[in-house]
Amino acid sequence: MPDKIQPTGLSASEELLARTFDHWREEFRSILESHRREIQDRLEKIEREIEKKSDKENVEVLVRSIYSDLHRHAEEIDRLHARVGSKMGTETMWKIVGLMLTIGSTVGGLIGFLIHLLLRTKS
């Protein structure tokens, strides 16, 4: 079944891919926002404990731990983003290869048809 061209100029499968990647992007943002809120809550709790306690060394260790977690989460999200980008690049490359093969086959068919007509008219 051939893909129908949508008003946006994209085929149905391209439109589905675009919606899928938009959904993934929203999920990544949701994950990031959730991590940010969690870390913010933990930092606020630590700040409240700093006000209550004079043991700043333990609090600093906790803060460093939270920043380490935040850095690890950021690296994890960067890796996920890179994987999604490479996947999308590979799919686009194969679509271009398929399009070029289709165009090449069409041009070859037309040239073959014209040669066949020229040979028939000369006979």
**Quick check: 39 and 74 in contact, CB under 8 A?**
no
Residue 88 confidence (pLDDT): 65
Full-model pTM: 0.36
Residue 1 confidence (pLDDT): 44
pLDDT < 70 positions in the chain: 1-10, 53-56, 59, 87-88, 123
**Quick check: 91 and 45 in contact, CB under 8 A?**
no
Q: Per the structure block, which two tokens stand in for 26? A: 């929203």
